[in-house]
Amino acid sequence: MNKHVLLVDGMALLFRSFYATAVHRNFMINDNGVPTNGVNGYLKHLLTAVQTFEPTHIVCCWDMGSQTYRNELFQDYKANRGAPPVELIPQFDLAKEATEELGIVNVGLKGFEADDCIGTLAALYQKEARVTVLTGDKDLLQILNEQVTVALMQKGIGNYKQYTKALFEEEMGISPKALIDMKALMGDSSDNYPGVKGIGEKTALKFIQTYQTIDRLLENVHELTAAQQKKMLAGLEDLKLSRILAEIKCDVPLSCPIDETKMQINQERAAAMLRLHQIKGIEPMVNRLSEIEIS
């Protein structure tokens, strides 16, 4: 199997890059008054990953607005997150433009998150290719299997913790899919869904290590302590909802044939775009990649 697809979580790369320099208010504003700090770092992360993983095919996935089907199910989903900083807002479109000018396909679908697009494409492409997911989001570890690996970005550029299914199972003692049930039990303060009140990460992990699934846990709820039984029975509705919210959808109705995602850096278009928007320090990286023959 010679095809190797890199699925990039564009949102994770852009947010990480923006906040890395925004803390010092180094927004790199160009002559048109548009900040470029997030896009600059995003491109460094993206091109470094291409050099590191040497994919034959590549897709960059994006959120398409803040409202998704999860908000319809639970109106407070991610309600604890404020609006993005004004300096970041114009960089969403600029990052997508830069990606396109590099010759890389952008994918996003209104009503779904970038994670759902990644999960769907991974399920589709794994039939004929190895798949590497580049992200900073541990939620995506739930899609690990023999064909899909997840590279979690660490501090700095070009530093990754690469998870295989085997490594995840060795570390956690549960299957990747079981991460969904674990998250449903413990909830997620970042995404603002409840889980079972009073059940934290350690207890949730222990429950899933012991019973494998929520269904089996509920079948054997009598084996829990009286306090745990009370929490579980009181939190059944929140548990059911949280499980739906925690699961990455792998059947999003999008179309992106693998043949349209072949890795081909467009040096001239990329250089013109970088100069137009005064995004500095990236052109040498593009030139180096353009010289590499990706087979």
Confidence (pLDDT) at 166:
98
**pLDDT < 70 regions, the chain:** 1, 292-295
**Which part of the chain has CATH 3.40.50.1010?**
4-170+248-290
The architecture of the domain spanning 172-246 is Orthogonal Bundle (1.10)
Say if CB 119 and CB 46 are below 8 A apart: no
Where do we find the tokens 């969403």?
A: 92
d(CA 113, CA 65): 9
Say if CB 55 and CB 98 are below 8 A apart: no
Q: What is the CATH topology of the domain spanning 4-170+248-290?
A: Rossmann fold (3.40.50)
Which residues have C-beta within 8 Å of that of residue 155, sequence separation ≥ 6?
none
pLDDT in tens, 138-194: 999 999 999 999 999 999 999 999 999 999 999 999 999 999 999 999 999 999 999
Distances (CA, A) of 227 to 163, 195, 199, 201, 218: 35, 16, 11, 17, 14
Please, what is the Cα angle at 130 between 126 and 131, to 5 degrees? Answer: 75
Distances (CA, A) of 233 to 123, 167, 183, 245: 35, 33, 17, 19
- pTM of this structure: 0.95
Which residues have C-beta within 8 Å of that of residue 257, sequence separation ≥ 6?
none
Strand ranges inside the chain, DSSP E: 4-9, 57-61, 105-107, 130-135, 148-153, 160-163
Confidence (pLDDT) at 190:
92
**Which part of the chain has CATH 1.10.150.20?**
172-246
pLDDT in tens, 199-228: 999 999 999 999 999 999 999 999 999 999
